[in-house]
Amino acid sequence: MSFDSILTLGQTALELGLISSLTVLALFLSYSMLNVCDLSTDGCFTLGAVVGASVALSGHPFLAIPAAMAIGMVSGFVTALLQTKMGIDSLLAGIIVNTALYSVNIGIMNGASLLNLNNSDTVFTKMRSVLENTPLAGQYKLIVIIITVVLVAVVLGLFLRTRLGLAIRATGNNPDMVRSSSINPVKTTIIGLCISNAFTALSGCLLAQSQKSVSIDIGTGMVTVALASLLIGGAFFGKGKIPLRIFGMVVGAFVFRLVYTIALRFNLPAFMLKFVSSVIVILAISGPYLKKQLPYLKRRFGKERTHA
């Protein structure tokens, strides 16, 4: 393999990793901060992609971004409402919304399960024409993605320092304490899920515009892929302060993509992506648990063997 092709592979991994890092940041807010495992992530990612593509198709690639984020917020609002005001368990609320979104997404695509953006402008083609004849022309995709990720990461970092951000963090950490600070944990959960779903939808929107097509299963398994990235990122920078942890999330998303890209080079079939991400999530969550059990397991089974 030539050096050039390695570079191209690395760049593709970086692009895709950074796009999915937006979903990882969304889960960082809902899963790590609010302590809610938001299973509507898959549907919301697709929703963002579908809405983003539709608006871009109608000739407004830039409008597609706020549109996708706004619709993601609505989806997050519904998920949050189900679990805070209507007595539905938070996991179930996510699954229900996810199922409903399947119909919504196909509805937005006018009954089709595929949209093609080959002949329409995207934020990426706009950037390409801006950068034409400059040394950066080849990196137009990466530049758009980096700008977006940096913006989102900085906004998220600043937001988590505000009183509202602190209240959201405390909601996942100790809801009793939030209530005794005269803050309604229902409100913080709703706001947190709205913001995180806006990020998820943005992530989907960028992927759709970058690959110039959307299919209804573009978001399938996204929650597991993002969780895997989140846990990888947490392994690197899980203990530090919030800005460092946010940086860790982005690194985690890239590392996951990189590992996956390398695995593909070793003839791992592409359809194995989701299997690999599931295994990573299983290992990352069960690993620390099993490690804790190890001394007891050793005592229990080790001793019997020595007696025998």
Residues that bind other proteins (CB under 8 A): 158, 161-164, 166-167, 169-170, 173-174, 176-185
**Closer CB to other proteins, 117 or 170, in the complex:** 170
**Closer CB to other proteins, 143 or 164, in the complex:** 164
Given a contact cutoff of 8 angstroms between Cβ atoms, the answer to whether 206 and 64 are in contact is: no
Alpha-carbon distance 199 to 149, whole Å? 10
The full length of the chain comes to 308
- Kindly state the smallest distance separating residue 34's Cβ from other proteins, in Å: 12
Strand partners, 114: 215
Distances in whole angstroms, Cα of residue 70 to Cα of each of 85, 242, 259, 281? 22, 25, 33, 30
Closest to 242 (Cα-Cα) out of 28, 97, 66? 28
**Closer CB to other proteins, 116 or 162, in the complex:** 162
**Closer CB to other proteins, 163 or 305, in the complex:** 163
Strand partners, 253: none
- Kindly state the smallest distance separating residue 35's Cβ from other proteins, in Å: 10
Q: Positive or negative, the Cα torsion across 189, 195, 197, 200?
A: negative
Contacts of 56 (CB under 8 A, 6+ apart): 64, 117, 120, 121, 122, 123, 208, 209
Contacts of 89 (CB under 8 A, 6+ apart): 83
Take residue 13 and report the two structure tokens written for it: 């991994």
**Closer CB to other proteins, 28 or 140, in the complex:** 28
- Kindly state the smallest distance separating residue 186's Cβ from other proteins, in Å: 9
**Closer CB to other proteins, 32 or 203, in the complex:** 32
**Closer CB to other proteins, 241 or 291, in the complex:** 241
Count other C-beta atoms under 10 Å from residue 5's C-beta: 10
Q: How many CA atoms lie within 13 A of 213 on its CB side?
A: 7
- Kindly state the smallest distance separating residue 29's Cβ from other proteins, in Å: 14
